[in-house]
Amino acid sequence: MLHPTNSLRAATAATLTAAFCCVGTATATADTTGSTADVNTLATSLAKGYGLNNCQSSPLTGAEVAELQCGQNPDSNGPASAVYQLFKSANDLSGAYASNLKDVTLASCSGSGSKEPGPWHQGNADQAGGQMACGTYKDVSLVLWTVDGKNVLGSIFSKADIPSLYKWWQANA
């Protein structure tokens, strides 16, 4: 069973309190937080400003094989927190994305136009890089996206308005 909304809850709590706390107090091991190889693979998908120096492996709660929770981005316009998850398969990624969307109040990413989830494109590429959506979760702005070629699900959170967070994502993710 997938439990990706735990990640939404944890990141939202970090955003609301403007501080990042690691979930749980147990010593992390490969059995509970993913293999070093999977964590390193996931780290290659982090947005600018994030790395293994400011993101922590998190206990696995569903189909993900690695999860990193990140606090405030060093960019003053960046997100207050972020969660990145790596999945073994496209089906697991798709299921986690759909599950997360159930908890999000969708909104237009740019502030006008459709609020429906849809594909995103890297630069001028014709082929979609994945799916994305914008909205709020417990009154916190978020951008949620997949990187289909890497089986990665990313989410960034901020108290700023959705269009500002989306603009940051476009420039940095």
Q: Is 102 helix (H, G, I), strand (E, B) or coil?
A: coil
Tokens 């993900």: give the residue: 64
Cβ-count burial of 24 within 10 angstroms (0-12 exposed, 13-18 middle, 19+ buried)? exposed
**Residue 7: per-residue pLDDT:** 54
Q: Which pTM was predicted?
A: 0.82
**Residue 6: per-residue pLDDT:** 54
Q: d(Cα 7, Cα 82) in Å, to the nearest integer?
A: 9
pLDDT tens track, the chain, 173 positions: 334 455 555 554 444 433 333 333 333 444 588 899 999 999 999 999 999 999 999 999 999 999 999 999 999 999 999 999 999 999 999 999 999 999 999 999 998 888 999 999 877 778 889 999 999 999 999 999 999 999 999 999 999 999 999 999 999 98
Q: Is 40 helix (H, G, I), strand (E, B) or coil?
A: helix
Q: Is 133 helix (H, G, I), strand (E, B) or coil?
A: strand
Q: d(Cα 143, Cα 101) in Å, to the nearest integer?
A: 11
